Structure 1
Amino acid sequence: MLSHRRENDVLVLTVHEDPGIGGRAALATAIEDFVRAFQPSPVLIVIDDAAATPATASAVLRARRRCGDLDVLFSASTHNASIRRLLEDNADSLGPGPVVHPRIDVAGDAAYGAAA
């Protein structure tokens, strides 16, 4: 469901499949565990097309909320416009929202630039 790699000092987490309603908490916890393990590296969450669902967006927002006190740059990338809007619209209550990119290469470059 979730894979990770380091790319130019950025932790890239890729969500490969929909966690479903019942798997949201587990996915959020897995993301949080990686963020804690690799902090202070910026984090880029890549949401594959098969995982571009409201449940995934909910898990990403939950992980971002939990990791907010770590002062870690948190961004996301998905090709799915409705999921990008969902991430952006529902992050308002969490302070500055995550940067959400439609292109993975741009998101990676932006996260790396912020880390440098």
Structure 2
Amino acid sequence: MLHHRIERGVLVITMRDEVDLGHRVAVAHGIADLVRAHVPAPVVIVLEDPVVRAATLSAVLRAHLMCGGLDVLMAVVTPSAPARRLLEANADAGGTRLVVFARTGQAVDAMAGLRPLWAA
């Protein structure tokens, strides 16, 4: 379900499958475990499915809350415009801003460009 790599100092986590309702908390914790193992690297979560279900969005939003608690910046990539709008509208406004992209390259470029701000 979760595949990860480091690209230009950015932790890139790819979700190739949709999350079902019963596994969204476990997926969010799996993401948080990967984030903790790579702190302070910024994180990009890539949702590969062109149609993103609510349980997947919920898992990503939970992970965003956990990343905020760790002071780790997070971005999400999805080809789905409705999913991008839902993520932006429902992200925790009290923590770090969730940035949502349509393409992985844009997200990695943006996050890699920010990395020196907290890596020093």
What band does the TM-score fall into relative to the shorter chain?
over 0.9
TM-score (norm 1): 0.93
The percent identity for this pair of structures is 48
Match of 1:112 in 2: 112
Q: For residue 18 of structure 2, give the secondary structure of its aligned residue in structure 1.
A: coil
Task: Tell me, in whole angstroms, the C-alpha distance in 2 between the residues paired with 1:3 and 1:29.
Answer: 14
AA aligned opposite 1:100: V
Match of 1:79 in 2: 79
Match of 1:90 in 2: 90
Q: Note the alpha carbon deviations across 1:30-71, whole angstroms, 9 max, x for none.
A: 000000000000000000116722111100100111221211
Higher share of residues assigned helix:
1
AA aligned opposite 2:78: T
Q: Alpha carbon RMSD of aligned pairs, Å? A: 1.4
Moved beyond 6 Å, runs of 4+:
none
Contact 1:15-1:51 within 8 A present in 2 as well:
no
Match of 2:66 in 1: 66
Q: Note the alpha carbon deviations across 1:72-102, whole angstroms, 9 max, x for none.
A: 1111111001111111000144434311001
Q: How many residues are aligned here?
A: 116
TM-score (norm 2): 0.90
Task: Tell me, in whole angstroms, the C-alpha distance in 2 between the residues paired with 1:92 and 1:64.
Answer: 8
Task: Tell me, in whole angstroms, the C-alpha distance in 2 between the residues paired with 1:54 and 1:75.
Answer: 18
Query: Residues 9-88 of structure 1 correspond to what in structure 2 (within 5 A)?
Result: 9-49=9-49, 52-88=52-88
